Structures are given as structure tokens and as C-alpha cells.
Structure 1
Amino acid sequence: MAHAVWSGALTFGLVSLPVQLFSATESHTIRFRQLERGTSDRIRNKRVNERTGEEVEAEDIVKGLETDGGYVVVEPDELDEIAPGRSKTLEIDGFVDLDDVDPIYFDRTYWLAPKDDEHLKIYALLHGALSRTHRAGIATFVMRNREYLIAVKAEDDVLAAHTLHWADELRDPADEIKTVRSPGDLPDKELKTAVELVETLGMDWKPKEYRDTYRERVLELVEAKGRGETYEKADPPPRATNVVDLMDVLRKSVDDAGDKRRKGGRRKGGRRKGGRRKGRQSRTAREELERLNKKQLYDRAADADITGRSSMNRDELIEALEKAS
């Protein structure tokens, strides 16, 4: 069971609700150990005095901010004394329409839970009001010596607290990316075809259909190397589209997307309407696999739990998928 990362009182108006904050996400990042090449010896980082070269104990390390006159040292209890919201209060200043909050402001997500059953009714009332009005409560609070701006909103049966970036933390793309500028008026025909492609590739948002395939490939790489086997390298990235051929590429993309959508709408398994022979079905399935790139083939092989897929080339993946089906 997850443990609370913060606890305090959420207030709105004159209402005060004791709450706890829980992290809503977890990282599945693969973490490698640092080793000396050619050995199994771990490499460890040490806290070392830059001037003397001697190791320093954690309790002897303090925070310091560099100024014109050197460093100003600040003790942990001094930070606690000046921290806004020292009384552990998460005070909602007001409620905004969710559509008015640009997604670029959102950072991390936490779950807010009532601290006890006694205050469950207040929690449910706030959840119901936010859900019905499609609004979010904007508040600030302090956690781990840092002040956060957050948006409290209703999610299914729970309140979510999304930490937000401060306005001065957002970078202006015009200052950061020199290649972003207007190319002038866009050709109407190309723009209409691009819109058609976007609409043809329209789909429902189903996050559970996506997974970290890079992490899977890393694990398979480790397993293959551990067995002394070779592993298949990924395909090179696609070449940039030539602007001269842009219209042809857009039109072909629309046609291909339409073909895939029509095929995806057919029933899985059994005969097609009209009763074609099994041999024809097999050839059609092969043709469909031939149209996929190596990453798409690998993803299908992962779904089918085909062993040894990390060491297969494209043709071998197609053969294995045919056998599996």
C-alpha cells in the first residue's frame, strides 16, 4: 500500500478538510548499476570536499547559495521557519474552468484522500461540486521545502491534485527554437489533404493499449547477452519527407490509412463475406504483415508472446507471426 507523501488541511471558503497526498504514478525505468569495465566491481559516488579531497559525512553537509560575497549558508530549520504554509495548509484560492488551464502547465499527479472517515462527507461534496461544474480548485502548499502551485480536480471517485509549473518556468518557443516560424500561406490542396489524413487516422484514446516497448527491448537485450546470444538492432529512422513530393506522400498516407481502417473493421477469424478459400486468407494475412515495418511486427510478436523475437530479423518475424496465427 502506498504511503502518504504529505498530510495537512485542504481549505476552501470556511471549510477545512484534513487530507493526505499520495503519488498517483510510479516509474518503471530500468536502472543500471555503474561498474568498472571488465569487472563486476560497483562504482559508488562519494561526497568529497572540493578543496581537501576528503570525504564528508552527510550530517556535515549544509545548503549554501552563491552570492557576490561568497556563499550564504542556510540551515534546514531556517527553511522550515520561513516556508509559506508552515501550518500544513492547502488553501484553495478559487475555482477555474478546466478548459482554461493549458496542458503545458501540468507536471505531476497525486491523489488526495480524506484523512479519516469522519470527513468523508465534506470530501464527497467537494468532489461532486467540482465534477458537476467542470472546475478545478487552484491552491498553493509547501512540501519538502518547496512551494507548489496545484489544481485540485475530480477524477472518477477520487480528488486529484496536479502540480502546475509556475508561469515564469515556461519557456517561450520563439526564444528557444529558431526553426519555428511561419512558412507563409499554405497551399489549400495540401492543407485539405493533411486535414483528411488527420481525420482518417482519428481514434479513441485507449492508454492501456500502449506500453513501454523500449523497456521490453532493453530487458530482452540483457537476457540475450546473458545467454551469450546475438540481438537484432532496430531499423534506422525514416528519411525526412522531400517537400517536392509532399502532396504525393500525403495522398498515399491517406489511402494507406483508409485501407488499414477498412481491414481493421473486418471480423477476426473465420471466413470473409463471400466465403473465400483458406489459402487466399493466408496470402492476405501475409500481405498485411508485409506492409508493416519492423517495429510494428515486433509489437505484434510481443502481443503473441513469441519467444526469441528480439533476435529475429524482419522476415523471421513475419514467419513467426504467420505460424502463431
Structure 2
Amino acid sequence: MGRKTKVAVAKPAWHGRERLVLLRVRDGALVAHVLKWDDEVRNPSELAPKDVTVTDSEMDEALQLVDSMTTDDISGYQDEYRKALEALIEAKAEGGRAAARTEHRGQGALRPGRRPDGRPAGERPQSAGRARP
């Protein structure tokens, strides 16, 4: 594919349903781009915001709020999910039981035997694309 600058289309089963994937060569590696089926693509007009009237004072307040929240230093942002996952893997590798996180920051809290979304590890989501017996 790389020599002829062509791409391939594949239909792998992934998360309980078929996906449409475009495969191409980039920098010597095979890269997969997950595409959307036509029924998964929304009409952009559905996403357009409704027309609203904003006063000058409301716009000034919004700009002040943005300015007060703006920062050039993003060093405080860290991948908390990855840290928790690495700690869980390390605890399991040492043969111990990983402790449950007591502080919950949204869906990212990891607990032993559970997926990040809180479902038991062996449970499939209801929308897996196939009927349950």
C-alpha cells in the first residue's frame, strides 16, 4: 500500500459490532482510521446553535470571565486516569489487592474487578449490538 499510495478499507468486529476502518501506511507503520457509517453521521444543521440576542454587557462579562480563567501554564493538567491505572497494574503485579479509590472524579475512578465505567469486568454493555439470551 505504501509504495502505491493506496489505502485499504476493512470491516473488523470491535466492541460487539462491525466498524468501518481505513488502513494506510504512514512513516513505515500501518495506521487505522475508524470511519462512521452513514447512519452515524449527523446533519450539521442539527448541531447549529439557535439564533440568540446577546447584549454588549453580556458579551463584556463573558470576555471578562474567559480572561479570568485563561492561563498559559497547563502543567497542572495531568492524566489522572493513567496514573490510577498504572497504580492498579503495579499493585496487581506485586500480588496484592489494589485498594479502591475513595475519591471519585467522575467516571475515572478505578476499582478492582471493575471497568472504568463501573461495570463488572466481565459484563458487556447493553448496547453491544447483539441480543442477550
Bigger share in helix = 1
Larger Rg: 1
TM-score under structure 2 normalisation? 0.38
Greater RCO (CA < 8 Å, at least 6 residues apart):
2
TM-score under structure 1 normalisation? 0.17
